[in-house]
Structure 1
Amino acid sequence: MIVNPAPAGWQVIYQQAHALLAAQLMWQWPPLGPPDRFVGLLAAVAQHDDEQAAWHGRGGHYGLTPAGAPANFTQKAFSLEQAQSLLAAARFQGRWRSLLTSMHLSVLYENLRGQKKETDAFLDELRTGQETWRRGLKINQKDAQQAYDLLHWCDRLSLILCRQEIPEMGRAVEIYHGPGGTITHTLSQPAAEGPLAVSPWPFREEAFSVSVEASALSQLQFKDDAELAEALRAAPVETLRWELRRAPGKQIS
């Protein structure tokens, strides 16, 4: 979960919903590669946070901090089981999605190498799989990286939006470099309460909107996962929307 403090409690955005927001952002880019590959890339970004632990309704404290608050995903330890399940699910959609998903897992968890034998074995499996899938797809490392960079870019911008990290006073925050690795994009809000601007502008349309659903919790602490799950099921749901508009004079990258 993505958990933000709110005036009346907590705002909770499921990681799978954040991934769908990332796919909305990718949809606005000019298609990268042939249609089947671009659709596969969309699937990879839309499902990159699937296979989360099923903690709902069975007690325990997986979804909670030690103080009993809803736990943000950054407060949870690496789950080898979740990563393995995500890669296994990707394989049912083919080598292309498997390659992209594997690259994402490598980026997220390669820094854990050397801590546990089981994790190292999984990281080695990712590397081996990537080489095998590239050969089978007849795609080189450069083209695979270009596609993955777009996935990472959309993931990063979605997280900035979901985690309320838009700077104040028109300041800009770096998103990530786009496909090709030569242009780094920034996000800003030139006018308070106005549309957001990405510079340089990479999208097909001059303006568009994206959205994600968030649950509003008024209870601050929970005794266990079951109580949190029940509160989330009963919580009012709000649709958060953002308008993105090309700033005057900014060229499409």
Structure 2
Amino acid sequence: MIVKNTNRGWEIVTQTAHAFLAAQIADKLSENFKNEYWLETLLAVYNHETLETDFNSGSVLNNKGMPLDFRESKETETQTLKKIQTMVHTIIYRSSIVNALIVRHLKFLHPNIFKSNKANYGDIIDDVCTRFNIGKTLFEKMYGVLQFTDRLSLIICFDELPETNRKIEINDSLSENSVFVTNLNNKFIIEPWPFESNKISVYKECRVMKSASFNSENAFLKEYHNMKIETITYEFLEG
């Protein structure tokens, strides 16, 4: 889960909600980024957090009883490898192309594990590209959509959008050019603009936890499920 300490309490965004936000962003992209395998690409964006759903992966509290952001996880390489293996085996029954795209994303996130051949799933990508006649360039373009939307969604979920008159880079996964988001008088501008319409709006769902800490994961989950879901909308404009 994604955790932010606010003056109202702990803002919690699940990995599933983050993935859905990424899918919202992907759905609004220009037709130039969509091809005959667009459905598979969109499903890969939505399913790229397969194992992180509903608090079923790892601890939810740190040693002080506070909600644990996934970036604070202290997983060992063995635990990470086991998680990768479980994810790959879980999604293989959904779609070969979806599986290959998520394997590509796991390779990006955990390069050392893949380089050591402890998680050698390169044959999955090669097999899918061969069976569906997907060239390397096209496959990387499809993955670029996942990487871009994942990153912009995380920026939103981490509450890292730039302050007024500042800009930050999203990434360059959609093309050779980096995409930036700028805050101009509290209006978020994206350049170069990758979306079909000249203005888009997306939303994230979260819960705000009032307790400062919890004496058990069950106590955390009880309060979490009793809190109302909040919806926060974000609007982006063409530069």
- Is TM-score (shorter-chain normalized) higher than 0.5? yes
- What per-residue deviation string (whole Å, max 9, x for no partner) do you get for residues 140-184 of structure 1? 2221111101110000000000101012122111001143x3111
User: Partner residue of 2:67?
Assistant: 70
- In structure 2, the gaps of 5 or more residues are none
User: Partner residue of 2:81?
Assistant: 80
Shift of 1:10: 0.5
Rounded Cα–Cα distance in structure 2 between residues aligned with 1:51 and 1:138: 29
User: Partner residue of 1:189?
Assistant: 183
Shift of 1:53: 6.9
Code of the aligned partner of 2:59 = Y
Code of the aligned partner of 2:128 = W
Mapping of residues 40-119 of structure 1, within 5 Å: 40-52=40-52, 62-76=59-73, 77=75, 79-112=80-113
1:200 paired to 2:192: yes
- What per-residue deviation string (whole Å, max 9, x for no partner) do you get for residues 31-50 of structure 1? 33434x10110000011112
Shift of 1:5: 0.8
SS at match of 1:213: strand
Shift of 1:102: 0.7
Code of the aligned partner of 2:189 = A
User: Partner residue of 1:170?
Assistant: 165
Shift of 1:127: 1.4
Code of the aligned partner of 2:7 = P
Shift of 1:25: 0.5
Instruction: Name segments (4+ residues, structure 1) moved above 4 Å.
Output: 53-56
Give the superposed CA RMSD.
Answer: 1.9
1:224 paired to 2:216: yes
1:158 paired to 2:172: no
Rounded Cα–Cα distance in structure 2 between residues aligned with 1:169 and 1:238: 25
SS at match of 2:43: helix
Shift of 1:80: 3.3
Rounded Cα–Cα distance in structure 1 between residues aligned with 2:87 and 2:29: 25
1:241 paired to 2:233: yes
The question of whether the paired residues in 2 share the 8 Å contact of 1:210 and 1:243 is answered with yes
Rounded Cα–Cα distance in structure 1 between residues aligned with 2:88 and 2:98: 9
User: Partner residue of 1:142?
Assistant: 137
Code of the aligned partner of 1:212 = K
Rounded Cα–Cα distance in structure 2 between residues aligned with 1:55 and 1:199: 35
User: Partner residue of 1:250?
Assistant: none
The question of whether the paired residues in 2 share the 8 Å contact of 1:52 and 1:82 is answered with no
SS at match of 1:84: helix
How many residues matched?
233
- Residue 239 and residue 33 in structure 1: after superposition, are their counterparts in 2 closer, same or farther (change >3 A)? closer
